[in-house]
Amino acid sequence: MKEKDIVDFGFEKVDVPVEESGDKTDYYYYKYDLSDSITLVSVASDEAKDDNWYVGGDLGYDITITEAADLYLLMHLFKRWTVNN
């Protein structure tokens, strides 16, 4: 998926300056809190190649989402399940 997809889904951009990371360059990533205990996190900007991003999280097991349609479905279903329960 593209960075624009992640932004369009409402993920929050988290900047990580060199001073904080200890790396040679600044980078950023995106995060989205599905609930109080589940956060989806994107790959870091310095790891996304050719604007190909993915999102991961821990839903009882590690997941990696590479397609925008899959991310939309996960977010939609999770919001629906948590509102109804």
The tokens describing 52, both together, are 């190909």
pTM: 0.85
Containing domain of residue 76, as a range? 3-84
- Residue pair 6/53 in contact (Cβ under 8 Å)? The answer is yes
Report the chain's mean pLDDT, rounded to a whole number: 88
The tokens describing 23, both together, are 């790396």
Percent of the chain with pLDDT over 70: 91
Count the domains in the chain: 1
Q: Is pLDDT of 83 > 60? A: no
Q: State mean pLDDT over 62-66.
A: 87
Work out the pLDDT band at 59, boundaries 50, 70, 90.
low
Contacts for 37-43: CB closer than 8 Å, 24+ residues apart:
38/78, 40/11, 40/65, 40/71, 40/75, 42/6, 42/11
Which of 34, 37, 43 has its CA nearest to residue 75? 34
Work out the pLDDT band at 72, boundaries 50, 70, 90.
very high
pLDDT of residue 80: 79
